[in-house]
Structure 1
Amino acid sequence: MPTAPARRRLVFLVGAHKTASSHLQQSLLDAAPALTARGVAILPPKLIRADLTPVSALVRDGISPEIGQGAGAAFLSLHGGTAPTVVLMDENILGSTDRKMLMRKTRLYPWAHHRLGRIITLFPGHEIEIGLAIRSPATFMPSCWSESLHHGPYEPFRRFTKGVDPLALRWSALAQRLHEAAPHARIIAWRYEDYPQVFPQVTTRLLGPDAGAQVTPVDRIMRPGLSAEAAHWLGQQEAPDKDTVLAARKRFPKTETTPGLDPWTAADHAAMAASYADDTAALATCPHVELVTPPVVSDA
């Protein structure tokens, strides 16, 4: 019988939220049998949240390091089998789409470095990589607002984003904090806007060439957000609740011809596009970050 390697490659696929993370997760899960045969174990969010997140909370509360590391070893043995590469998928490692966990004035995922650091401490001696997709605040903020209505009480978009400066939200700053929490980890990043073009490169980089070639993108949209029509209708309702939000989604579905909420002016879009471009350029220069970009198409 094969035995598990003493040192594995652990890839933490942490989202971010609303960056096609559910699409990538499902694509990997659909390919799981073929990936297992190639030494890659794919662990879905439900396993992370059931068996790993509670242990990381105990780390926060002062559990002995040896107990935490024993739990990490048991987790890998139980769910990773003998795979040399284990992919652990959960956006909630960073936080959630609850406003307090998502944004704080000028900071994305204000507690992400603490949350990641606690989980990393459970796996000493392993090679750690972090997969992180980023997205322009112009669409990230409305999409996260829409997602937040799945889980909490209704609040208007403007209240959800009150006090947050979208021009100051920097993915490069988040990557720096994650690096400080896991200084030996490599961060593999890509833009949501590039996702369809870089999908094969991302899977190859995360899994290796042979395993990456086994993954095909699922042919459906996962977790579509609110359409602009639905958002407008909700704003006209008196004290909307979760049932009202569900009714809005069904009554005014988001499609190619009925896009999501766009709360910004043309000037807002221009400013955020420039800020996002600058942020992406800064991310690409970070020595601990590998930014996956679309292949260059030759004119020849």
Structure 2
Amino acid sequence: MQIVFHAGAHVTDEDRLLKCLLRDRDALTARGVSVPGPRRYRPLIKNAFAAMEEAEPAEDARDVLIDAILDEEIADRVFLSNEHFFGSRRFAVIDNQFYPLAEQRLRHLRSLFPQDQIELFMAIRNPATFVPALLRDAAPRTVRTVLETSDPRALRWSDLFVRIRAAVPDVSITVWCNEDTPLIWGQILREAAGLEPTEEVSGALDLIAEIMKESGFRRLQDYLAKAPPMTEVHRRRVLAAFLDKYAREDAVEEELDLAGWTEELVEELTEDYDDDVARIQHIPGVNLIAP
């Protein structure tokens, strides 16, 4: 069985991917793809992680979990999503690392599902905007921990994926930049569901609709409805052209409000992030979805 874990990176509305796939739930079920409701599995996996701190899982743990998750549904592929797979916000950045608990959690998953093909899906985000967003509503203790133990200049997403590959080399990783998501959302949905590149999915234009002027989005819909079939690359060029003309400035601009962070620091972090994304492309076993 293929088990897809969408591990949130606290970068955006982490349940958006789950919500979009749930809209196609019946069609996906017919294809052997299960998208169970999160209440069915999040507490189970959380409890399993806690138990594994003390002992290895029982021999029948995998079958018990799968039966509970699927609830008599038959599936070849299961999509599970939880922004806390790698820990809560206070464990997101510690000692110049993103998600120091990631390797341990994935080893637990591998132990729980030893017979299955595990895939990891997650978005990343420019540390210049990720860290402020992470700390915006965080508890004072979390703010102190992040700011006192980590230098944002040292944070690299590529380091996280290198660590994961070393810990669980048979787990494949699919990653994308949050900044690119509106243009590639359809492909993200299809790959998460294991669908072919040409198959239609609900919600493929949801994100771009949110950052475009209403009149521009209507023109985009009209254009796509009348246009002949196009490749994914061509489609993205069309989306990018409409977005360039009709983007809402208030939706694409981000306010950074973190004491001591200067424009120079933000520019430096952004340049480092661009280099880091290029580095991620060359990590074996990592599939980077890019425009």
Q: Which TM class, normalised by the smaller chain length?
A: 0.7 to 0.9
Counterpart of 2:32 in structure 1 is 39
Task: For 2:288, give the aligned amino acid.
Answer: L
Distance 2:16 2:199 in 1: 15
Counterpart of 1:198 in structure 2 is 184
Distance 2:68 2:159 in 1: 31
* Cα distance, 1:28–1:257 mapped onto 2, change above 3 Å: closer
Cα shift readout 1:33-62 (whole Å, capped 9, x = no counterpart): 232222211134433322222012212210
Offset at 1:24?
1.8
Q: Does the 8 A contact of 1:73 with 1:123 survive in 2?
A: no
How many correspondences in the alignment?
A: 247
Counterpart of 1:87 in structure 2 is 79
Task: For 1:17, give the aligned amino acid.
Answer: H
Distance 1:277 1:259 in 2: 18
Cα shift readout 1:172-204 (whole Å, capped 9, x = no counterpart): 111122223322111011000000011111112
Q: Does the 8 A contact of 1:20 with 1:192 survive in 2?
A: no
Distance 1:114 1:159 in 2: 21
Counterpart of 2:268 in structure 1 is 271
Offset at 1:267?
1.0
Distance 1:64 1:258 in 2: 47
Offset at 1:28?
1.8
SS of corresponding position for 2:106: helix
Offset at 1:210?
7.5
* Cα distance, 1:257–1:125 mapped onto 2, change above 3 Å: closer
Task: For 1:88, give the aligned amino acid.
Answer: L
Counterpart of 2:219 in structure 1 is none
* Cα distance, 1:179–1:78 mapped onto 2, change above 3 Å: farther
* Cα distance, 1:116–1:46 mapped onto 2, change above 3 Å: farther
Counterpart of 2:202 in structure 1 is 215
User: Cα RMSD over matched residues?
Assistant: 2.6
Q: Does the 8 A contact of 1:38 with 1:211 survive in 2?
A: no
Alignment of 1:138 onto 2:128: yes
Distance 1:132 1:93 in 2: 11
Runs of at least 5 residues in structure 2 that lack an aligned partner in the other structure:
211-249
Give matches, 1:1-300, under 5 Å: 8-78=1-71, 81-98=73-90, 101-148=91-138, 153-154=139-140, 160-207=146-193, 208-209=195-196, 213-217=200-204, 218=206, 256=251, 259-263=254-258, 264-294=261-291
Distance 1:191 1:181 in 2: 23
TM-score (norm. length: structure 2): 0.76
Q: Does the 8 A contact of 2:11 with 2:124 survive in 1?
A: no
Q: Does the 8 A contact of 1:48 with 1:89 survive in 2?
A: no
Q: Does the 8 A contact of 2:36 with 2:70 survive in 1?
A: no
Counterpart of 1:4 in structure 2 is none
Cα shift readout 1:64-84 (whole Å, capped 9, x = no counterpart): 4414334334334427x2111
Identity of aligned residues (%): 30
* Cα distance, 1:259–1:205 mapped onto 2, change above 3 Å: closer
Task: For 1:193, give the aligned amino acid.
Answer: E
Q: Does the 8 A contact of 1:19 with 1:134 survive in 2?
A: no
* Cα distance, 1:160–1:104 mapped onto 2, change above 3 Å: closer
Offset at 1:271?
1.0
Q: Report which stretch shifted further, 24-33 or 155-164.
A: 155-164
Cα shift readout 1:88-140 (whole Å, capped 9, x = no counterpart): 11111111112xx1111211111111012212211122111110111011111
Distance 2:60 2:173 in 1: 27
Q: Does the 8 A contact of 1:13 with 1:132 survive in 2?
A: yes
